[in-house]
Structure formats: structure tokens, C-alpha cells
């Protein structure tokens, strides 16, 4: 603890300074923490805690990495920004803490660097792509190991690549035809030495996705770039010309993203009902002026362009960016999400982020402005947060194609701002390695990975990461029903379709072309009407904007119940079939009991989920901010039309009251 203050009153949001909680305020080298002096002063006691409560932070804790500024408010609502070392006058009405980032000037002033935590992962982490085998396994999975090879940076071996690739990892993938000597000659001609490197190969037709930086402005060796691109074309396995896409002409710049995010953040940061309702009439115009959704749409549009080139034209695409560490990471990741279902699982998505962003050198420390310097403002831009927003848009348009939920994405968004996970603390792999080797206090310690979810969330909270629609689609043979329906539609509409295509195109396309790719390749719509605000993430703390009993969380609850109903019906059907065939008689007592109990779905209302006590179910109310904001208190429950979480389960196959009666 650095300092503390007694007899502090923390005002409740949207109370206009008329309601508050008394307690103590503490500042540590990790967070600002408010501890109430009287637990009864909380409206609901422990029930007022949000269900998605972080192990590292309580509802009244603020990481120092999220503090932008502190304002002193005196009589007449006059505000004065407090700078380091300034004294507070005695005529202080209250203090305002504006959340964003604090700006330490040195890395070792960050809490994560001062107190490295040796996190032991209970679960197998995703591939970190710090070893050669990780890359080779990915090449084998995509069946392109004959055209691409893993290269190794080793200064001690004259036959390997030299050590001037400061922002690239020790291992990365290049065309097989390129020799190490060719790379050593060409690297200095590219900005930040970022030669063309492999990201992905679409194994259906061999089209690949490659990233590269621009040539140095003073470079006269255009022939070296041509030689590198010629090797990329050779690895594509066809004679088609490469599609080189200059992202600076199609994607927003760092300055555009930074300015847009600041404007967008300004319209969603309000803590008084007066400010909220006065700005509500200007919400859409302010949202339009921020250009944030336009930035999201622009990125999705570029990823669609790349996907179409790789799918329809079977062309290898080269993403070209000045430093090849920002928009190239974003577009490349979106393309792989659209093409490959493997990356739409939680493990696959984490592996994708680890490879394309962390290992390949997205400068998180600069873009998140974790360390202050003279160039901080120009280098800051929340590119990764923009990427998460794009992924959320994909999830909304293709709700059954992802194994994870928006709660998972919002939780990941939060971890970026905690400032304790090494995943989002460094600019590249070498930066991380140099600090851990040079920092005496951290020589024998390691920082926790963001993928170690048990470090900061309970097992029950992680159940909210699982998508019931994805589980139903992939685990219960529903695809056969869908294919049967498609067959009926194809048969009944065959004549109409043939006539339409004869009129429009002159010939009828094969049915395989019409239906084969739509389930595996995602092509999102990017029109303004379909790009939405990520309400769970951005509006969860604005109480007047919460939809009580509605929003995406309410739909998610119904989907979880639907999945449990399907599991129950399937289980009962299997039990009846076993009884009809006499299978139960051949089983032992233990196996018979296992067959008799409902299978665990691994979802929210599974046998190990929220269905623990009826008291807990009766105390949790659903709003559009669930599970991050408690939203509803006992003082307002009597005026609500909707009921608590237990009402969702009433008269369903997993009603806890029915199960209790069955047990009796």
C-alpha cells in the first residue's frame, strides 16, 4: 500500500451525488481500492456483486493502468485537473477519477514488472509459437509444409539468419525456395526488417496469406522485393499473379483509430442521469461523428476483399503495411477467422491471437500507451480493441459459428486494461525476453498469461464463455436435419433457380457451389445498418441504458435452456431405447447410475453450473449488462416486470424445483 484515506464517501453512479457509501480509500502499486467501513451500507450486501466478478478486482477496485486523470471539484462544480505533486485545496467538494491509463515513465514502475507472479497453468496452454515445432505443426495442419519452411534466427550460427530482426520472433515461416543468404541481403531494405512472412494457407486451393512491410524510402533495391515476391508466388503452387494489397489505402490509420476511439469513448462515459438524458437525443449523431463503427466496417470490408480473392480467384494475397504490425495483424486475423472454423473455437482463437499479434510483434505497450514518453500520443491506437469489436460483429452475424460468446470477448477486452498479464505488456517477443533477462527482480519469476483464465475467473464464470448454439450445431447431428431441409429446398426450387440463372447468367451453377461454402466460410455484411454497438462491453456501466430482462444476455439464457432441453430429451430417448433393448440389465450398478443421471453439458445450467442453489438463482437478475454489472438491486426489484434467473428455468426440463421433487 502506498497511501490511504479514512472517512471517504464514494458516490453511486447516476445518483447525482445524493447516494453514496462510506469507507476507506487505499492506493497500492496495482490499484485504487475502496473498502466500505460498514457492509450494511451496500444496497444488497454480497448480492450486489456482479456475477462475472474478477478474482483480482472487486467492483470498487480500479487498476492504475485504467486511470487517465484525477480532477478536484470545488463549489460551483469547478474542475481542476490534478497533476503529480500538486496539493489539494481545503475547499474540495469531491474528486473525480477518469478511467483510462496511467503513464509511468519506466517499465519497472508497472505493478506487473514489480511483482512478477509465477503462474502455474492447470490446463494446457495454446501454442505460443516460440518453438519451431509449433510452426511446423500448423504448416502440417494446413497441408502446406512442402511450399513453406520455418526459419531460425541464430547469431551464433553463420548458416542461419542474422539477428537484425528485432520485431520478429526467433522462428517464423518463409517460402521454401528462399535461402538464408537471400533473406540476410534483403532484410535491411524493408522497414523494420519485416520481409514477407507466411500467415495462413487455405488448404482447399493452396492460396496463401502473406504479410510484409514497405521498402525503406531510400532503398534502391526494388529487385530484392521482386525476388521475395517471386518466391512467395512460387510457394503458391500456381501461376497466378499475387494480389498485393496496400493497407494504408484501404484501412484507417493509427491517427484515425486513435481520434475515433477518443470521440467514441467520450459519448459512452457518463455517470449522471442528467448528462445521459441530455445527450440521448444526440446519440446517433455523436456516434456517427465518432466514426468508430465506420472503422469497424472498413476493416471487415477489407477482410471480405481478401477472402474473396483467396476463395474465388485462388490467388495468394500479400498484405503490405509500413511497419507490418498493426492493420496487417487485424486483417490477417479476421481473414483466418472467416476461412477456418478451427480459429472459431476458444483454443483456436487464443492460438491465433498468440501467433498473429503477440509473437509476430504487435506493439501492445506502445499502442495501449502503458509507458509514457514524448512520442506516446502519436504511437497510441487501440488496434487490438478494434479487432475485438470486429470479431464481435462476426459473432452477431454468425451466432452458431463460434464456440465462444460475447462474454468471452468482453472478458478478454477487460484483461487488456488490467496491466498484469505479459501477453499484452510488451511490443514483441525480443522486448519481453530482454526485460525478463535484465530485470533482476524478475529473473526467477514469470508473469501470468492472459490465457490462464483460472488465474482471474472461477470455473463457474468461465461457463459463460461457451456458446450453446455452437454446441448444438456441432455435437448433436443437427447438420443432418439442416442438410435434409436444404435438399428439400433445392428440389422444390430447382426449376425456379434454373430459370433465374439462365436469365441472369446464361447457365445454372452447380448446387455444390451454392451450398458447400456457406457453412465454413463467413462473409459478413458491412452495411451501416448491420454494424452495431457492442453494448455489453461499452454500455454495461451506464445504468439507464440497461435493458432489464432483455438484450443479448436474455437470448443467451434461453439458448442455454434450449440446449439443456435437447440434452434431456436425447438422454431420455437413449434411456428408453436401452430399456427396450435390455441394455440396462447388462450394465453394472455404477454404469446404470451414470446412465440415469443427466449428462453434463458444460453450459451455464449444466450439473456443475449455476444450478447450485435456488437462493442463488433467485438473487440474480438479467439485464443487457449481465454478467458484468449487477444492475438490479433489491430496492428496485418490486417494480420490475421480469423475474430473476430462476424464472427462466420454470417449467423446463431443468427446473430445480422439479428436480428437488423428483429427489423426494
Does 180 share its domain with 73? no
Q: Is the pLDDT of residue 489 over 60?
A: no
User: What is the four-CA torsion angle of 416, 50, 120, 444, rounded to 10 degrees?
Assistant: 50
Is residue 64 included in any domain, yes or no?
yes
Whole-angstrom Cα distance, residue 143 to residue 140?
A: 5
Within 8 A by CB and 6+ apart from 65, the residues are: 101, 102, 110, 370, 417, 418, 419
- Provide mean pLDDT across the span 94-109: 56
Q: What is the pLDDT of residue 629?
A: 75
Q: What is the pLDDT of residue 303?
A: 98
Who wins on pLDDT, 585 or 13? Answer: 13
Is residue 643 included in any domain, yes or no?
yes
Who wins on pLDDT, 40 or 624? Answer: 624
Q: Would the pTM of this model clear 0.95, i.e. be above it?
A: no
- Provide mean pLDDT across the span 453-463: 88
Who wins on pLDDT, 119 or 252? Answer: 252
Does 93 share its domain with 141? no
> Which DSSP symbol is given to 325?
S
Q: What is the pLDDT of residue 53?
A: 65
Is residue 428 included in any domain, yes or no?
yes
Pairing of strands 31-36, 61-63: antiparallel
Q: What is the pLDDT of residue 45?
A: 46
The model's pLDDT over 56-96, given as tens digits with 9 standing for 90+, comes to 777 777 777 777 677 777 766 677 777 666 677 666 655 66
Does 284 share its domain with 191? yes
| Assigned C-alpha cell, 572 | 431420455
Full DSSP string of 241-274: PPEEEEGGGTS--HHHHHHHHHHHHHHH----HH
CA angle 522, 244, 528 (to 5 degrees): 40
Does 312 share its domain with 458? yes
Q: Is the pLDDT of residue 409 over 90?
A: yes
Q: Is the pLDDT of residue 247 over 50?
A: yes
CA nearest neighbour of 446 among 432, 428, 431: 432
Does 86 share its domain with 218? no
The model's pLDDT over 514-553, given as tens digits with 9 standing for 90+, comes to 334 446 899 999 998 899 999 999 998 888 888 888 889 9
Question: 414 phi and psi, to 5 degrees?
Answer: -65, -40
Q: What is the pLDDT of residue 635?
A: 43
Does 425 share its domain with 318? yes
Q: What is the pLDDT of residue 260?
A: 97
Whole-angstrom Cα distance, residue 539 to residue 626?
A: 11
Q: What is the pLDDT of residue 584?
A: 59
Q: What is the pLDDT of residue 511?
A: 41
Is residue 116 included in any domain, yes or no?
no
Does 162 share its domain with 96? no
Is residue 186 included in any domain, yes or no?
yes
Domain edge (last residue) among 470, 488, 505 = 470
Does 138 share its domain with 97? no
Pairing of strands 243-246, 317-321: parallel
Does 242 share its domain with 319? yes
Does 247 share its domain with 361? yes
Does 367 share its domain with 300? yes
Q: What is the pLDDT of residue 642?
A: 55
For 253, counting Cβ atoms within 10 Å of its Cβ (0-12 exposed, 13-18 middle, 19+ buried), the class is: middle
Question: 124 phi and psi, to 5 degrees?
Answer: -70, 120
| Assigned C-alpha cell, 461 | 464464470
Q: Which residues of 386-400 are buried (b: 16+ CB within 10 A; e: fewer)?
A: bbbbbbbbbbebbbb
The model's pLDDT over 192-206, given as tens digits with 9 standing for 90+, comes to 999 999 999 999 999
Residues in the chain: 664
The model's pLDDT over 135-190, given as tens digits with 9 standing for 90+, comes to 999 999 999 999 999 998 876 666 666 666 678 999 999 999 998 888 888 888 89
Is residue 228 included in any domain, yes or no?
yes
User: What is the four-CA torsion angle of 475, 481, 484, 488, rounded to 10 degrees?
Assistant: -150
Does 212 share its domain with 151? yes
Is residue 651 included in any domain, yes or no?
yes
The model's pLDDT over 307-345, given as tens digits with 9 standing for 90+, comes to 999 999 999 999 999 999 999 999 999 999 999 999 999
Q: Is the pLDDT of residue 213 over 90?
A: yes
Is residue 537 included in any domain, yes or no?
no
Q: What is the pLDDT of residue 501?
A: 46
Beta bridge partners of 153: 161
> What is the average pLDDT score of the chain?
79
- Cα–Cα distances in angstroms (integers) from residue 420 to residues 61, 167, 199, in the given order: 14, 22, 28
Whole-angstrom Cα distance, residue 396 to residue 175?
A: 37
Q: Is the pLDDT of residue 222 over 70?
A: yes
How many domains in the chain? 3
The model's pLDDT over 637-652, given as tens digits with 9 standing for 90+, comes to 444 445 566 666 666 6
User: Which of the four pLDDT bands, split at 50, 70 and 90, describes residue 459?
Assistant: confident
| Assigned C-alpha cell, 333 | 486475423
User: Which of the four pLDDT bands, split at 50, 70 and 90, describes residue 2?
Assistant: confident
Domain edge (last residue) among 80, 102, 124 = 102
Alpha-carbon 629 to chain mean position: 19
> Which DSSP symbol is given to 638?
G
Domain edge (last residue) among 432, 449, 470 = 470
Q: Is the pLDDT of residue 250 over 60?
A: yes
> Which DSSP symbol is given to 31?
E
Within 8 A by CB and 6+ apart from 211, the residues are: 194, 196, 197, 199, 318, 319, 321, 324, 328, 329, 332, 360
- Cα–Cα distances in angstroms (integers) from residue 139 to residues 202, 429, 551, 596, in the given order: 11, 21, 41, 44
Domain that holds residue 87: 3-102
CB count within 10 Å of CB 429 equals: 21
End-to-end CA distance of the chain: 53
Amino acid at each position: 500500500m502506498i497511501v490511504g484515506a479514512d472517512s471517504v464517501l464514494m458516490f453511486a453512479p447516476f445518483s447525482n451525488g445524493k447516494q453514496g457509501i462510506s469507507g476507506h480509500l487505499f492506493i497500492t502499486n496495482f490499484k485504487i481500492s475502496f473498502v466500505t467501513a460498514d457492509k450494511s451500507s451496500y444496497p444488497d450486501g454480497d448480492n450486489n456483486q456482479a456475477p462475472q466478478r474478477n478474482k483480482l478486482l472487486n467492483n470498487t477496485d480500479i487498476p492504475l493502468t485504467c486511470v487517465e486523470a484525477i480532477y478536484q471539484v470545488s463549489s460551483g462544480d469547478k474542475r481542476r485537473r490534478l497533476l503529480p505533486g500538486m496539493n489539494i485545496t481545503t475547499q474540495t467538494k469531491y474528486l473525480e477519477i477518469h478511467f483510462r491509463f496511467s503513464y509511468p515513465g519506466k517499465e519497472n514502475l508497472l505493478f506487473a514488472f514489480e511483482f512478477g507472479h509465477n503462474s502455474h497453468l492447470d490446463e494446457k496452454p495454446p501454442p505460443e509459437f516460440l518453438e519451431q515445432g509449433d510452426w511446423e505443426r500448423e504448416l502440417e495442419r494446413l497441408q502446406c509444409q512442402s511450399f513453406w519452411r520455418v526459419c531460425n534466427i541464430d547469431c551464433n550460427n553463420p548458416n542461419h539468419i542474422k539477428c537484425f530482426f528485432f520485431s520478429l520472433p526467433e522462428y517464423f515461416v518463409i517460402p521454401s525456395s528462399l535461402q538464408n543468404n537471400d533473406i540476410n541481403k534483403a532484410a535491411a531494405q524493408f522497414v523494420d526488417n519485416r520481409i514477407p512472412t507466411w500467415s495462413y494457407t487455405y488448404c482447399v486451393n493452396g492460396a496463401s496469406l502473406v504479410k510484409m512491410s514497405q521498402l525503406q524510402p531510400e532503398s534502391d533495391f526494388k529487385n530484392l522485393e521482386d525476388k521475395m515476391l517471386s518466391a512467395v508466388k512460387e510457394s503458391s503452387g500456381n501461376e497466378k499473379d499475387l494480389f498485393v494489397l496496400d493497407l494504408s489505402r484501404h484501412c484507417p490509420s493509427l491517427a484515425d483509430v486513435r481520434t475515433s476511439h477518443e470521440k467514441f469513448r467520450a459519448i459512452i462515459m457518463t455517470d449522471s442521469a442528467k448528462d445521459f438524458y441530455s445527450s440521448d437525443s444526440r446519440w446517433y449523431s455523436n456516434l456517427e461523428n465518432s466514426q468508430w463503427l465506420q472503422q469497424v466496417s472498413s476493416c471487415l470490408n477489407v477482410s471480405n476483399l481478401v477472402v474473396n480473392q483467396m476463395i474465388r480467384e485462388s490467388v495468394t494475397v500479400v498484405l503490405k503495411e509500413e511497419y507490418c504490425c498493426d492493420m496487417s495483424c487485424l486483417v490477417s486475423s479476421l481473414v483466418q477467422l472467416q476461412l477456418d472454423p478451427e480459429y472459431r473455437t476458444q483454443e483456436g482463437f487464443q492460438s491465433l491471437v498468440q501467433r498473429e499479434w503477440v509473437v509476430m510483434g504487435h506493439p501492445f505497450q506502445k499502442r495501449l500507451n502503458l509507458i509514457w514518453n514524448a512520442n506516446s500520443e502519436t504511437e497510441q491506437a487501440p488496434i487490438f480493441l478494434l479487432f475485438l469489436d470486429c470479431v464481435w460483429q462476426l459473432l452477431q452475424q454468425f451466432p452458431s459459428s463460434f464456440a465462444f460468446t460475447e462474454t468471452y470477448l468482453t472478458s478478454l477486452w477487460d484483461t487488456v486494461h488490467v496491466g498484469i498479464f505479459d501477453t499484452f505488456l510488451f511490443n514483441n517477443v525480443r522486448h519481453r525476453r530482454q526485460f525478463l533477462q535484465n530485470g533482476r527482480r524478475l529473473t526467477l519469476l514469470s508473469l501470468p498469461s492472459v490465457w490462464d483464465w483460472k488465474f482471474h475467473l472461477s470455473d463457474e464464470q468461465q461457463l459463460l464463455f461457451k456458446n450453446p448454439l455452437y454446441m448444438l450445431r456441432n455435437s448433436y447431428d443437427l447438420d443432418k436435419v439442416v442438410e435434409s431441409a436444404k435438399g428439400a429446398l433445392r428440389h422444390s426450387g430447382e426449376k425456379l433457380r434454373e430459370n433465374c440463372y439462365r436469365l441472369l447468367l446464361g447457365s445454372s451453377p452447380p448446387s455444390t457451389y451454392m451450398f458447400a461454402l456457406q457453412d465454413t466460410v463467413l462473409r459478413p455484411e458491412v452495411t451501416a445498418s448491420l454494424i452495431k454497438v457492442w453494448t455489453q462491453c461499452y454500455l454495461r456501466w451506464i445504468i439507464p441504458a440497461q435493458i432489464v430482462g432483455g438484450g443479448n444476455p436474455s437470448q443467451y439464457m434461453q439458448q442455454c435452456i434450449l440446449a439443456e432441453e435437447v440434452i434431456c430429451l436425447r438422454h431420455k430417448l437413449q434411456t428408453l431405447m436401452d430399456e427396450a433393448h435390455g441394455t440396462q440389465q447388462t450394465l453394472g450398478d455404477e454404469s446404470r447410475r451414470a446412465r440415469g443421471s443427466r449428462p453434463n453439458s458444460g453450459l451455464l445450467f449444466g450439473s456443475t453450473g449455476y444450478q447450485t442453489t435456488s437462493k442463488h438463482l433467485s438473487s440474480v437478475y438479467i439485464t443487457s449488462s449481465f454478467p458484468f454489472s449487477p444492475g438490479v438491486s433489491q430496492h428496485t426489484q418490486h417494480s420490475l416486470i421480469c423475474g430473476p434467473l430462476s424464472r427462466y428455468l420454470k417449467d423446463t426440463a431443468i427446473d430445480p424445483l422439479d428436480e428437488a421433487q423428483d429427489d423426494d
